[in-house]
Structure 1
Amino acid sequence: MKRILAGVACCFVLGLFVQAQSIYSFEGLGSLNHQGMPNNVAMGEVGIGTPTIWHINTQNPANLVYNTFSTFQVGLEVDRRNFSGEEISGTDTDGGLRFLGYAFPIMPDKWSSSFGILPYSSVSYNTFSEGEVAGTNGDVAQISDNRGEGGLTNFFWANGFKIKNKFLVGVRATYTFGSIEKSSTISIGGNDVPVSNVTYEELESYSDLNFLFGVGYRHKLAEETFINFGATFSPKTPFNGTSELSLIRLSNSGSELETVNVGTQDIQFDLPGTYGFGVSYQKLNKYTIGFDVETQGWESAGLESQTYNNSLKIALGLEWTPDYDNVSSYWKRAKYSAGLNYHKLPYIVNNQALTDFGINFGASLPVSGFSSLDLAFKWGQLGKSSNGLIKETYYKVVIGATINDRWFIKRKYD
């Protein structure tokens, strides 16, 4: 345990919350990350109406009530992307710490709490273009090199409460913070025109508080067989930040000749209102089938200078355990998961909406006590390779660990 926690601390010091490069992360706040744990990724990213006692539910705080153990989860993710389009191709691989959370019961079966940190968005792109300056009859060329990096992180504190035997409520407070740095270097030159190099740098820094509310309901159908319902709501929230703009004049060799700080201004990026609903059919320690749908009102959020679609996400997942009580077969005690998801993104590129489709599967392999090693894999496709867009085919591998124990319990006997 101490070695694991020390390793996590080292990851924080090294700043390993990174994601693979995505061409489309130049839009808005960047590529938006799934706010679930490794077990949710393996199950198609469902979780709003899918409770579990073995893992932390970061998608619906009401379901934390089922965490009767003290639960610690951590996970690493490796992301590889292939890019293809009109005369465009390339690959990129990156990864690092992606999941971290801790949940514990305050009043077992009545009130549980959790806190953790998850990346909300990531920005990592580098695009290059060249052409001629309009009206110069091809005598003057222009080259643009655009780069961006950074992202936003969610630090959350959530609580789930049981109001009656079947009805649950929860609330999650999230402090979202981070910075996004974008630069564009433009080179202009040609016949009888000296080369001119200018870099525009913009640093956006954000920090603000937002809330998510959740409810849950469990109905018993038969012995150890249940149907679960869940719903979440997050109101539209002002998201405050600052923007610093600088202009840098460069020599032909790329060294800085002059830097002009244009100034700093306050900006406000509204986070959209979110509505989610989930349902699952569950036979304890046998199988669970879950379905989620979530929509975000980006059309009335974002920045006034940008236009967005309302986003929609649909996820379907299955988890099953061949024989939970089998003491002679390790693989029959493991949990296996599979699922798929469709996500209509809020960003519009070349007057076209972006969509993301993924197929997921994975397993939770039991280790000492009630703990597990969590594995997940996702194959996905973002965008398309026609009409001026670029198709990203990506593969994500997640390796996580879940530690379940009864911590903070006073011993009755030595």
Structure 2
Amino acid sequence: MKLNSVLAMIGFLGLSVQVSAQSVSTSPYTSYGIGEVLFDNNIEQAGMGGLSTLSTNPYNSSANFYNPAANAQLNMTSFDFGVNTRLSQFKDEVNTSKKSATYISNISLAFPVGSKARAGFGFQPYSTIGYDLQTVSYNDEVNFANTYEGSGGINSLHVMGSYNITPEFSAGVRMNYLFGEMERKQTITTEGLSLLTDYNYEAKLSGFQFTLGTSYSKKIGTNRRFEAGATYTLGTNVNAKIQDMTTTYTFVDNFPNHIDTIHYKKVYGDMKLPQMVSFGASYRKELNWMIGAQVDWGDWGGYSLTEDENSDLDTRFRVSAGGYWIPNFNSYKSYFDRVTYRLGGFYEATPLQFGDIGIKKYGMTFGFGFPIGKDRDASMLNIACELGQLGKADSQIIKENFANIKVGFTLNDIWFRKRVID
């Protein structure tokens, strides 16, 4: 086992602790439910529209944590690290604003265990909340200013395992340990009065979530292959410790004074996360090109935080398609002939509802996989860009134009191999 591989494992354990409290989001759409769900895919999958139920690495040397069964041909120890920068522009009928956030999006390590089994563990942000909004309302000729703030999110430490039941069929399971804090705050001020009212809502969460996966791979002719993959994430209850408090106060010399708590409640309950299903299929020519498509569905209408507090979320439905192309993986004359070029797109009916209006999300993606290191280990520097739109600009809804720029690397090595000559 190489020293740098050991250091990578140590670094993984340290980084997973350090990034658990990172600031991830700036979108007002994260004010609903558990915020924006981020647990989706790695960088190479993001460059292909989000295809994640399939084996999308042409060299079978990159781990898939979304569908653990899709690691049937993983033949090397794979360390993956990724960073995402999100650039957002928000528009309504009058105003425009811009915000950005950068965060570590993925750290994982996976490896073969014998000839038929695969295992791995990783860290990802699971969901994020991050918004800061102000509104003004009128009532009997009195102006009320409302400030809404939200922060926090859920993180995931996860392990996965898979087993090749036959040369063509494999099954796997992933267990997520979810943990984190969500905080929402509303401050109301009245024109002409120094009295302010704060509504504070905090939830500390922890619990487990399980995903089952299957994968089927059939060789066609000498160098073509058809693949299909599916996942089912079980609905689960996550432990929730909730603190709900309302206070009033005045400002004296820019400091809160005469603080009065008029409501306080602490609740121990459950957050109900919904069941989710994904299915994808692809057709490829070995070490040359691949095209695929995927459908995702999630029953977010069943989401709730404690028994007496339900959300107005709806079901989630997403369709994505994409693929890759390698001009000549074995070229010695041109480095760029060995680069993996990726392209894709997606359309999503999100769970967000404003009255009878459903919020739609769509976009296109592209990316590159640049070979690095030794030719035989298929390590890559991966870059992906996702350009999209969420919502639309009118009197009720904010339009968000966004760009996700993802950069990371996949490093591969062969572990646990017996030396032929010592």
Q: Same fold (TM over 0.5)?
A: yes
Q: Counterparts of 1:245-264 in structure 2 under 5 Å? A: 245-252=244-251, 253-258=254-259, 260=261, 262-264=264-266
Distance 1:264 1:166 in 2: 52
Distance 1:11 1:243 in 2: 25
User: Does the Cα contact within 8 Å between 1:16 and 1:97 map onto a contact in 2?
Assistant: no
244-253 or 351-360, which moves further after superposition? 244-253
- Find 1:22's aligned residue among 21, 27, 33: 27
Distance 2:363 2:379 in 1: 28
1:58 positional shift: 1.6
13-22 or 157-166, which moves further after superposition? 13-22
Distance 1:351 1:183 in 2: 26
Alignment partner of 1:118 is 2:131: no
85-94 or 238-247, which moves further after superposition? 238-247
Secondary structure at the aligned position of 1:255 is classed as: strand
Offset from partner CA, 1:133-173 (integer Å, 9 cap, x none): 3xx3x0x2211111000000111111111101111111111
347-356 or 200-209, which moves further after superposition? 347-356
User: Does the Cα contact within 8 Å between 1:359 and 1:379 map onto a contact in 2?
Assistant: yes
- Find 2:100's aligned residue among 93, 96, 105: 93
1:347 positional shift: 1.8
Distance 1:82 1:265, change over 3 A: same
**Counterpart residue type for residue 257 of structure 1:** H
User: Does the Cα contact within 8 Å between 2:25 and 2:129 map onto a contact in 1?
Assistant: no
User: Does the Cα contact within 8 Å between 1:146 and 1:185 map onto a contact in 2?
Assistant: yes
| Superposed CA RMSD | 1.9
Alignment partner of 1:130 is 2:132: no
Distance 1:408 1:385 in 2: 56
TM-score, normalized by length of structure 2? Answer: 0.91
Secondary structure at the aligned position of 1:62 is classed as: helix
- Find 2:403's aligned residue among 395, 400, 403: 395
1:248 positional shift: 3.2
- Residue 156 of structure 1 aligns with which residue? 158
- Residue 383 of structure 2 aligns with which residue? 375
1:34 positional shift: 4.3
Offset from partner CA, 1:291-344 (integer Å, 9 cap, x none): 110101122333553222111011101111000000121110110101001111
User: Does the Cα contact within 8 Å between 2:21 and 2:152 map onto a contact in 1?
Assistant: no
- Residue 354 of structure 1 aligns with which residue? 359
Distance 2:303 2:197 in 1: 32
1:97 positional shift: 0.8
User: Does the Cα contact within 8 Å between 1:302 and 1:308 map onto a contact in 2?
Assistant: no
Secondary structure at the aligned position of 1:63 is classed as: helix
Distance 1:300 1:93 in 2: 31
Offset from partner CA, 1:233-289 (integer Å, 9 cap, x none): 122212221211223333233424325371310232211111111101011110111
- Residue 411 of structure 1 aligns with which residue? 419
Alignment partner of 1:75 is 2:82: yes
Distance 1:268 1:14, change over 3 A: closer
Distance 2:384 2:42 in 1: 10
- Residue 45 of structure 1 aligns with which residue? 50
- Residue 301 of structure 2 aligns with which residue? 299
User: Does the Cα contact within 8 Å between 1:189 and 1:196 map onto a contact in 2?
Assistant: no
Distance 1:74 1:44 in 2: 19
Distance 2:310 2:226 in 1: 45
- Residue 190 of structure 2 aligns with which residue? 188
- Residue 239 of structure 1 aligns with which residue? 238
- Residue 210 of structure 1 aligns with which residue? 209
Distance 1:6 1:216, change over 3 A: closer
User: Does the Cα contact within 8 Å between 2:33 and 2:313 map onto a contact in 1?
Assistant: no
**Counterpart residue type for residue 35 of structure 2:** G
Alignment partner of 1:313 is 2:312: no
- Residue 110 of structure 2 aligns with which residue? 103
User: Does the Cα contact within 8 Å between 2:149 and 2:184 map onto a contact in 1?
Assistant: yes
1:16 positional shift: 6.4
**Counterpart residue type for residue 108 of structure 2:** G
**Counterpart residue type for residue 272 of structure 2:** D
Secondary structure at the aligned position of 2:70 is classed as: helix
1:206 positional shift: 1.0
Distance 1:227 1:344 in 2: 28
Distance 1:14 1:168 in 2: 33
Distance 1:312 1:367 in 2: 37
User: Does the Cα contact within 8 Å between 2:76 and 2:412 map onto a contact in 1?
Assistant: yes
Distance 1:259 1:70, change over 3 A: farther
**Counterpart residue type for residue 72 of structure 1:** F
Alignment partner of 1:61 is 2:74: no
Runs of at least 4 residues off by over 6 Å: 2-7
1:20 positional shift: 3.3
- Residue 266 of structure 1 aligns with which residue? 268
Distance 1:175 1:6, change over 3 A: closer
Distance 1:59 1:381 in 2: 24
How many corresponding residue pairs? Answer: 406
Q: Counterparts of 1:271-350 in structure 2 under 5 Å? A: 271-303=273-305, 304-350=309-355
Offset from partner CA, 1:204-225 (integer Å, 9 cap, x none): 1111111110111111111121
Distance 1:196 1:356, change over 3 A: same
Structure 2 unpaired stretches of 5+: none
- Residue 225 of structure 1 aligns with which residue? 224
TM-score, normalized by length of structure 1? Answer: 0.93
